[in-house]
């Protein structure tokens, strides 16, 4: 770090104490301090051919708590960001229903509301790490995730309004963006905890995340959370769209493909220290990280400093919610020796986050999706940190 200008340090009176600051509404929509300008979403340029069908990553290493600010959640678009005038947007519900509906945003807001904190993880999160350690930073290895509070209408209420026919078994939500994203969603999920959301963290959805309407499917892979939601077709069997045949499936070693792998398995990552957040001094060190499970709440998190030989219980702090990010801490004294940092999440079903080796044994090396293996950070004596794998 640069040596700060001593003129603003005690015992001097700092310059910002010597004149009035900007008045109210000089920033009608607030922004972080200019000294936090490096806390931004980033992309990996070589990963995709265009930014319209690409991904940006959440700066997990610089965030606290469990809620992702609205301007920092990763984005994944297949056809760019649709900028939709809500006055010209409708949600159509049709197919195997008694009464097809065409709803305005105002119509949707007249239904009883729910608030729900949920993480959204892309099934491809950590996908670049299947064949070995590659990207240097949890922003890039684990940053296809965000967690916000959604406000919206339970999808169940809208389907009741339309009246499901007895053979209604599947839904096909479709986005209004240029990719016309579609996925087959089983009716059980729709009637359980699915939400048609219009707000995130208390304000209208941001365009990047589907303004004015998006589907929320807590715990399930992000690809199914259709943004810019314009249509839900009700049917009696899945549609086998591109996104559930050639994509978002995993080719196993025996040539079979895993399909309809909806729920995200328990996973965790140490966000600080990590390659983008190196250690600056020896002594008392606060280790911080995130854990989550698409099958329920996090029960516990273990931390290892020696590559998985010894495990100690991390401390969970803040709300521990069903299908939401959960914050954990582990405090220790660093004596300057190299470390192999790992975290391991256990969810309320008793499922234990596996090692990468165990995952590969079952799934082989052809996968991209659902890599929830244990991450290792190698801390060097100078405090720098590398993404590595241990045997
Ligand atoms: N919905 C539409 N209409 N178009 C899209 O490109 N991308 C999907 C999903 N919903 C997508 C979409 C994918 S692959 C993911 S992981 C999530 O949205 C990402 O949501 P986010 O951009 O809010 O992070």
Please give the structure tokens belonging to residue 150: 């959604």
Distances (CA, A) of 240 to 185, 227, 237, 337: 11, 19, 9, 52
Is the Cα torsion angle 341, 311, 281, 270 positive or negative in sign? positive
- Nearest ligand 1 atom to alpha carbon 78: 6
Mutate to test the pocket of ligand 1, among 53, 147, 216, 225 (most ligand atoms within 8 A of CB): 225
CA of 196 to the centre of ligand 1 (A): 14
3-class secondary-structure state, position 300: strand
Instruction: Please tell me the residue having the least CA distance from ligand 1 atom 23.
Output: 209
User: Which structural domains are found in the chain, ordered by start?
Assistant: 76-258 (3.90.420.10), 267-388 (2.60.40.650)
Instruction: Please tell me the residue having the least CA distance from ligand 1 atom 9.
Output: 223
CA of 222 to the centre of ligand 1 (A): 6
CA of 58 to the centre of ligand 1 (A): 14
Is 2 a residue whose pLDDT tops 60?
no
- Nearest ligand 1 atom to alpha carbon 177: 3
Q: Which residue has the tokens 């997990």?
A: 60
Instruction: Please tell me the residue having the least CA distance from ligand 1 atom 21.
Output: 75
Please give the structure tokens belonging to residue 365: 């090396």
What is the chain's mean pLDDT, rounded?
97
The H-assigned helical ranges of 204-306 are none
Terminal alpha carbon distance of the chain:
35
Give the model's pLDDT for residue 182: 97
The H-assigned helical ranges of the chain are 105-109, 138-142, 155-162, 187-192, 356-363
Give the model's pLDDT for residue 4: 67
Contact 267, 241 (CB under 8 A): no
What percentage of the chain's residues is helix, strand, coil (to nearest 5)?
15, 30, 50
Contact 208, 152 (CB under 8 A): no
Mutate to test the pocket of ligand 1, among 78, 119, 177, 231 (most ligand atoms within 8 A of CB): 78
Tell me the pLDDT band of 3, cut-offs 50, 70 and 90: low
- Nearest ligand 1 atom to alpha carbon 55: 22
- Please state the rounded mean pLDDT for residues 224-237: 98
CA of 226 to the centre of ligand 1 (A): 6
Confidence check on the interface: ipTM exceeds 0.85, yes or no: yes
CA of 267 to the centre of ligand 1 (A): 20
> What confidence tens digit (pLDDT) does each residue in 149-196 have?
999 999 999 999 999 999 999 999 999 999 999 999 999 999 999 999
- Please state the rounded mean pLDDT for residues 301-324: 98
- Nearest ligand 1 atom to alpha carbon 180: 3
Q: Which residues line ligand 1 (CB under 6 A)?
A: 73-78, 120, 122, 146, 175, 177, 179, 181, 208-209, 222-223, 225-228
Instruction: Please tell me the residue having the least CA distance from ligand 1 atom 10.
Output: 226
> What confidence tens digit (pLDDT) does each residue in 101-119 have?
999 999 999 999 999 999 9
CA of 7 to the centre of ligand 1 (A): 49
Is 276 a residue whose pLDDT tops 70?
yes
- Nearest ligand 1 atom to alpha carbon 123: 16
CA of 77 to the centre of ligand 1 (A): 5
Give the model's pLDDT for residue 367: 86
Instruction: Please tell me the residue having the least CA distance from ligand 1 atom 2.
Output: 227
Give the model's pLDDT for residue 109: 98
DSSP state of 34: G
Please give the structure tokens belonging to residue 82: 């649709």
Give the model's pLDDT for residue 5: 76
If phi > 0 it is left, if psi is from -120 to 50 it is alpha, else beta; for residue 75 that is beta
- Nearest ligand 1 atom to alpha carbon 76: 22
- Nearest ligand 1 atom to alpha carbon 79: 6
- Nearest ligand 1 atom to alpha carbon 122: 16
């Amino acid at each position: 770090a640069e040596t700060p200008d001593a003129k603003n340090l005690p015992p001097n009176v700092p310059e910002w104490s010597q004149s009035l600051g900007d008045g109210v509404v000089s920033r009608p929509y607030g922004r972080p301090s200019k000294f936090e300008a490096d806390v931004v979403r980033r992309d990996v340029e070589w990963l995709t051919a265009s930014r319209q069908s690409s991904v940006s990553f959440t700066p997990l290493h610089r965030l606290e708590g469990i809620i992702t600010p609205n301007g920092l959640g990763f984005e994944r678009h297949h056809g760019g960001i649709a900028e939709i005038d809500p006055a010209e947007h409708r949600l159509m519900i049709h197919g195997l229903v008694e009464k097809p509906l065409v709803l305005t945003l105002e119509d949707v807001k007249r239904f009883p509301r729910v608030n729900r904190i949920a993480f959204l993880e892309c099934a491809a999160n950590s996908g670049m790490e299947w064949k070995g350690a590659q990207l240097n930073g949890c922003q890039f290895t684990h940053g296809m995730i965000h967690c916000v509070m959604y406000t919206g209408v339970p999808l169940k209420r809208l389907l009741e309004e339309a009246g499901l026919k007895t053979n209604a078994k599947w839904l096909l939500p479709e986005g209004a963006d240029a990719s016309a994203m579609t996925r087959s969603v089983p009716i059980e999920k729709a009637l359980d905890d699915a939400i048609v959301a219009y707000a995130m963290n208390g304000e209208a959805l941001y365009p990047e995340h589907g303004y004015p309407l998006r589907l929320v499917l807590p715990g399930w892979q992000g690809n199914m959370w259709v943004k810019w939601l314009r249509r839900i077709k009700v049917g009696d069997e899945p549609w086998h769209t591109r996104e559930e045949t050639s994509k978002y499936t995993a080719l196993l070693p025996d040539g079979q493909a895993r399909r309809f792998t909806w729920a995200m398995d328990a996973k965790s990552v140490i966000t600080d220290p990590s390659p983008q957040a190196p250690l600056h001094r020896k002594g008392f060190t606060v280790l911080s990280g995130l854990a989550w499970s698409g099958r329920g709440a996090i029960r516990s998190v273990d931390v290892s400093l020696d590559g998985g030989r010894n495990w100690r219980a991390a401390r969970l702090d803040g709300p521990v919610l069903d299908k939401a990010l959960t914050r954990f801490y582990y405090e220790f004294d660093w004596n300057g020796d190299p470390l192999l940092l790992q975290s391991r999440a256990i969810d309320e079903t008793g499922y234990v986050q596996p090692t990468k080796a165990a995952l590969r044994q079952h799934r082989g090396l052809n996968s991209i999706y659902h890599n929830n293996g244990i991450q290792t950070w190698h801390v060097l004596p100078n405090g720098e940190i590398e993404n590595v794998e241990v045997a």
